């Protein structure tokens, strides 16, 4: 097998859905912005040699339907010879896309690949426009269609996660994200998004242009008192609130991978490489603990111990499930989501796996960390995890 190298990984600023500044931006446009910027980071790469563009999307319909990956390739101005595909593993879709691109290269099926994720939760609602569950499974296994918030409440009970601990975890996510923004730690990975809107004042249209260059989710004004007053939203007497859950969001991310042959041919600088990727299933009603089974699986695959992992991006679908995973796996909280997570930054579903990859790789480079882990729970009862090696130490 040949080696596969990541040479560029970026993500857009993340907008709040459904009323943030990116609310009218199509996910294919967001994906194209991310892809074009990722290519700008490697100007010596011949785009004619890109073989496929794989993008993850959790609800690939309506504005983000019609094979999002191919649409993004064309929207980015790539040659018609560049193919495109869309992959759906819900919250792990973006990470799955990167893994598939990696697999294509190491097996010799491709030399240059683009992978990423894009999602507009402003335009496509959670669950899609017309959810039609399988009638047999509704009768025999209704937990498969359990809402994500309800699964989080079940996790709080099974893993004894208190409301106070959830709110404290959420506050820390915001504090870390604000600190990261203020210190410029996202600058190398972040792609500004130009916005052009037609607004009406006194019945007259006015074109307003702006640039979204900062994540909209993190709040510097939140505190434990405010978080503790929020009501439970998924279960009467529950503890999962809007404040300790991930935010609905809009965004995109893109990563470019090449073989060793093309790395040398175009004299590219490798950022990192994916060492391994694993998925695993858990009961749907406690889908949040998915990383508990996926992480040991990928670590065994790559021959590493948890103690050798220097940085971890654990998607914060909910504070409850994040804490359950951290405690069950025995993760060092000081190296988990050091720049905040989805509770503060947002969770644009199909984009998130690619977003956390970009964040992880750039932070590994900044800190000189050799091994990093990206992991998340996945709707329907799954977990996904990938190990990356930093090549810029």
User: Which residues are the active-site residues?
Assistant: 91, 347, 377
Rounded Cα–Cα distance for residues 204 and 206 (Å): 7
Structure-token pair, residue 326: 């951290």
Angle, helices 68-75 vs 27-40, to 10°: value is: 60
SS3 147: coil
> Distance from CA of residue 222 to its chain's centroid?
24
List % helix, strand, coil for the chain (3-state, nearest 5).
Answer: 40, 25, 35
Rounded Cα–Cα distance for residues 351 and 250 (Å): 8
Question: 């569950």: which residue's tokens?
Answer: 133
Contacts of 83 (CB under 8 A, 6+ apart): 51, 52, 53, 70, 73
Q: Which helix (H) or strand (E) holds 148?
A: helix 148-158
> Distance from CA of residue 258 to its chain's centroid?
21
The Cα-based distances of 235 to 98, 157, 222, 245 in angstroms read 36, 12, 23, 14
124 burial via Cβ count (<10 Å: 0-12, 13-18, 19+): buried
Instruction: Establish how many alpha carbons lie within 13 A of residue 225's alpha carbon, considering only the half-sphere containing its beta carbon.
Output: 1
> Distance from CA of residue 300 to its chain's centroid?
23
Rounded Cα–Cα distance for residues 148 and 318 (Å): 9
Q: Among residues 33, 262, 244, 20, which one has the least CA distance to residue 123?
A: 20
Torsion of CA 280, 369, 10, 249, to 10 degrees: 50
Rounded Cα–Cα distance for residues 143 and 138 (Å): 8
Q: Which helix (H) or strand (E) holds 157?
A: helix 148-158
């Amino acid at each position: 097998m040949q080696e596969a190298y990541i040479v560029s990984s970026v993500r857009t600023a993340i907008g709040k859905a459904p009323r943030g500044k990116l609310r009218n931006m199509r996910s294919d446009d967001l994906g194209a912005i991310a892809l074009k910027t990722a290519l700008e980071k490697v100007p010596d790469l011949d785009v004619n040699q890109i073989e496929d563009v794989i993008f993850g999307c959790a609800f690939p319909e309506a504005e983000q339907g019609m094979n999002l990956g191919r649409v993004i390739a064309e929207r980015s101005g790539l040659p018609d010879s560049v193919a495109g595909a869309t992959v759906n593993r819900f919250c792990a879709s973006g990470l799955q896309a990167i893994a598939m691109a990696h697999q294509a290269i190491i097996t010799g099926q491709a030399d240059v690949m683009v992978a990423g994720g894009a999602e507009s939760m402003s335009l496509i609602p959670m669950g899609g426009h017309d959810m039609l569950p399988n009638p047999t499974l509704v009768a025999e296994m209704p937990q498969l269609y359990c809402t994500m918030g309800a699964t989080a409440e079940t996790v709080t009970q099974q893993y004894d996660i208190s409301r106070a601990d959830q709110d404290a975890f959420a506050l820390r996510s915001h504090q870390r994200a604000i600190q990261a923004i203020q210190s410029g730690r996202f600058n190398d990975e972040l792609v500004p998004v130009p916005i052009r809107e037609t607004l009406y004042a006194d019945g007259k249209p006015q074109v307003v242009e702006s640039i979204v260059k900062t994540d909209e989710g993190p709040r510097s004004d939140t505190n434990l008192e405010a978080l503790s007053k929020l009501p439970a939203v998924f279960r009467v007497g529950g503890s999962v609130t809007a404040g300790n859950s991930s935010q609905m969001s809009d965004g995109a991310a893109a990563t470019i991978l090449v073989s060793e042959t093309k790395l040398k041919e175009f004299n590219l600088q490798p950022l990192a490489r994916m060492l391994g990727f694993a998925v695993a299933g858990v009961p749907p009603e406690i889908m949040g603990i998915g990383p508990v089974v996926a992480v040991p699986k990928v670590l065994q695959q790559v021959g590493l111990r948890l103690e050798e992992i220097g940085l971890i991006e654990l998607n914060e679908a909910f504070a409850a499930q994040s804490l359950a995973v951290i405690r069950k796996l025995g993760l060092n909280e000081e190296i988990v989501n050091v720049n905040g997570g989805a509770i503060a930054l947002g969770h644009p579903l199909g984009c998130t796996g690619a977003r956390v990859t970009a964040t992880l790789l750039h932070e590994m480079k900044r800190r000189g960390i050799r091994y990093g882990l990206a992991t998340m729970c996945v709707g329907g009862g799954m977990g996904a995890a990938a190990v990356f090696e930093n090549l810029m130490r």
